[in-house]
């Protein structure tokens, strides 16, 4: 849940603090990374859901999916071989 704060009343009564108030407003507008990696929740039936997640560069056997309480955890481990060149 995001709350937008209005700092305009403070601009009138705080001379010399414009830069700080502008920085606070900019921080409030910054996007969080809660939406990474990209995913979709697809309803496939009554009470049935499927999660489609974009995990570029990982194969299915390099991913581990676990569930703890009310959180789904997707983690991946790349097998970096010695013969890989970039």
What's the mean pLDDT in 47-58? 89
CA neighbours closer than 13 Å in the CB half-sphere of residue 73 = 7
The pTM of this model reads 0.48
Domain boundaries, the chain: 39-76
What is the CB neighbour count within 10 angstroms for residue 7?
A: 14
Helix H or strand E encompassing 9 = helix 8-13
Return the residue matching tokens 């939406």.
Answer: 35
pLDDT-derived band of residue 84, with 50, 70 and 90 as boundaries? Answer: low
| Sequence-distant (≥ 6) Cβ neighbours of residue 21 within 8 angstroms | 7, 10, 11, 14
Q: Where are the beta strands (DSSP E) in 1-86?
A: 39-45, 48-53, 63-68, 71-76
pLDDT beyond 60 at 2: no
């Amino acid at each position: 849940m995001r709350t937008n704060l209005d700092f305009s009343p403070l601009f009138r009564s705080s001379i010399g603090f414009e830069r700080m108030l502008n920085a606070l407003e900019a921080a409030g507008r910054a996007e969080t990374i809660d939406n990474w990696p990209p995913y979709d929740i697809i309803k496939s039936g009554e009470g049935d859901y499927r999660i489609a997640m974009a995990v570029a560069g990982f194969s299915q056997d390099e991913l581990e999916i676990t569930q703890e309480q009310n959180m789904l955890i997707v983690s991946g481990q790349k097998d970096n071989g010695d013969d890989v060149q970039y």
